[in-house]
C-alpha cells in the first residue's frame, strides 16, 4: 500500500510463512516457544503473538515483566516466559501469571520468598543454565545447590530447564555447540533426578532448529526466524521479512555543484543534483551509521543513497537519476531490500536495525 507518512508494515502472511517453514523441520511432539520480546523484534508484539497463537505456539517469551504484562492486558492468556527476571518485578510477575526464568541463587531465593508471601503452591518457574554464553544462568558448579534447594521449595514447580546456544549458526563453532548441548543434557539430568516430575527442556534458537535437530528436545525457541531472518544467506532466502519500513519524500531541492547538504556540511554535491528529504531520522531508529552513503532507500524501485549525516527527524537522499516528486514513497527495508542487507553495510546485524525502530513510527498490520 502507498503510504503518506512513516510506517512500519507488519505482514502477518509473511509471519505465517516463516512459522510454517520453521516448524516443518520439527516433530509433532516438539513444542514451540515464540519470542516476542522488544515489541516483537521491533514490529508489534500483540499482533504477532495473537497470530502465532492461532498458528499453534505453546509458549511466548519476553525479556522483561512489563512486556508480558502488556500482552496480558491485551488478552493473551498463553503461558509467558520472562527471560530476564529482575527482583523488583517478582511480585508483578506473579500478579500477571507470568513465568520467570530463574538464573541465579539470589533470584531463586527471592522469587521463592515472594511466592510464599503470596501463598503460592507449585508456581511455574524455568531454570536457566549457563553452558558457555556467560550471560545468565546457573553454572555446573551450582548443580548441588539446585539439587538441595529445589525439592524443598513447595511454592515453586520447575516447568522447564533451558540454556542458550552461543553460535549455532556458525559451522566453525560446531564443536563448541556440541559441547553446550552435552553439558545442558548433563545439567538437566542432574536436576530432573531430584524432582517428582519431568520438566520440559529447551535449548535451540532459530539457527539450532535447522542445524542441530538433536537439540530440539521438548520445545524450541524461535525469535529472529519468525520475523524473516535466519543468520545465513541461504536461510534468509527461504524466509520472508515481516516488517517493511516506509516513509515519504517531503521536499526535493535542486542543489548546485559545490553546495553542501545537511549538518556539518558532510556532503558536497559533485554536480547539479536533486536531493530529497525523507520523514525519518535517528530518533526513528535510522542510525547515523547509515549516513554518508552507507544506507540507501528504494524510490520507484531505484536505490537512493543517503547523503550527509542522518538528522534526528529527517534524512536526505540523492534522487538525481530518479523520476520522483514530493509525496512519493521511499522504502528502507522489506522484501526488496532486506534488513540483513542494510545492516551488513553498517557492520551490524538485522536484530539491531529491526529493534531500533522507534515506537513513534506508526505500525500498520497487513494481510491479517
Among 37, 51, 128, 246, the active-site one is 37
Q: Which long-range contacts (CB under 8 A, 24 or more apart) does 234-241 make?
A: 235/207, 235/210, 236/338, 236/340, 238/21, 239/17, 239/18, 239/21, 240/11, 240/14, 240/17, 240/18, 240/335, 241/11, 241/14, 241/333, 241/334, 241/335, 241/338, 241/339
Rounded Cα gap, residues 41 and 157, in angstroms = 30
Among 41, 119, 263, 344, the active-site one is 263
Best CA proximity match to 100, nearest among 75, 142, 146, 69: 69
Residue matched to cell numbers 512489563: 66
Those residues whose C-beta lies under 8 Å from the C-beta of residue 56, and which sit 6 or more positions away, are: 23, 32
Rounded Cα gap, residues 104 and 113, in angstroms = 14
263 counts as catalytic: yes
Q: Which long-range contacts (CB under 8 A, 24 or more apart) does 71-77 make?
A: 71/36, 71/45, 71/46, 72/96, 72/97, 72/98, 74/46, 74/49, 74/50, 76/46, 76/49, 76/50
- CB atoms near residue 312 (< 10 Å): 11
Query: Catalytic residues, which ones?
Result: 37, 263
Amino acid at each position: 500500500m502507498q503510504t503518506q507518512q512513516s510506517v512500519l508494515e507488519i505482514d502477518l502472511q509473511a509471519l505465517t510463512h516463516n512459522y510454517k517453514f520453521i516448524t516443518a523441520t520439527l516433530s509433532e511432539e516438539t513444542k514451540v516457544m515464540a519470542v516476542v520480546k522488544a515489541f516483537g523484534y521491533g514490529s508489534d508484539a500483540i499482533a504477532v503473538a495473537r497470530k502465532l497463537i492461532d498458528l499453534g505456539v505453546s509458549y511466548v517469551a519476553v525479556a522483561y515483566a512489563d512486556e508480558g504484562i502488556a500482552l496480558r492486558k491485551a488478552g493473551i492468556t498463553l503461558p509467558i516466559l520472562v527471560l530476564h527476571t529482575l527482583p523488583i518485578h517478582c511480585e508483578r510477575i506473579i500478579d500477571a501469571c507470568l513465568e520467570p526464568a530463574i538464573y541465579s541463587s539470589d533470584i531463586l531465593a527471592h522469587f521463592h520468598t515472594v511466592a510464599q508471601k503470596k501463598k503460592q503452591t507449585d508456581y511455574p518457574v524455568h531454570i536457566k543454565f549457563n553452558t558457555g554464553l556467560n550471560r545468565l544462568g546457573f553454572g555446573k558448579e551450582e548443580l548441588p545447590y539446585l539439587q538441595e534447594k529445589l525439592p524443598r521449595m513447595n511454592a515453586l514447580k520447575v516447568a522447564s530447564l533451558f540454556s542458550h546456544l552461543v553460535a549455532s549458526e556458525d559451522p566453525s563453532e560446531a564443536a563448541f555447540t556440541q559441547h553446550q548441548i552435552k553439558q545442558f543434557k548433563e545439567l538437566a539430568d542432574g536436576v530432573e533426578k531430584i524432582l517428582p516430575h519431568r520438566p520440559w527442556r529447551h535449548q535451540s534458537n532459530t539457527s539450532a532448529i535447522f542445524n542441530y535437530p538433536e537439540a530440539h528436545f521438548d520445545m524450541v525457541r524461535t525469535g529472529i526466524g519468525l520475523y524473516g531472518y535466519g543468520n545465513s544467506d541461504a536461510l534468509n532466502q527461504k524466509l520472508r521479512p515481516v516488517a517493511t519500513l516506509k516513509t515519504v519524500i517531503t521536499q526535493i531541492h535542486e542543489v548546485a555543484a559545490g553546495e553542501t547538504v545537511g549538518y556539518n556540511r558532510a556532503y558536497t554535491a559533485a554536480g547539479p543534483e536533486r536531493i530529497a528529504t525523507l520523514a525519518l531520522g535517528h530518533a526513528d531508529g535510522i542510525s547515523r551509521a547509515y549516513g554518508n552513503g552507507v544506507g540507501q532507500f528504494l524510490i520507484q524501485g531505484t536505490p537512493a543513497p543517503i547523503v550527509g549525516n542522518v538528522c534526528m527527524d529527517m534524512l536526505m537522499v540523492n534522487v538525481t537519476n530518479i523520476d520522483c516528486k514530493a509525496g512519493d514513497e521511499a522504502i528502507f527495508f522489506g522484501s526488496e531490500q532486506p534488513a540483513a542487507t542494510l545492516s551488513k553495510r553498517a557492520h551490524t546485524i538485522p536484530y539491531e536495525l529491526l529493534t531500533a525502530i522507534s515506537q513513534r513510527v506508526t505500525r500498520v498490520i497487513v494481510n491479517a
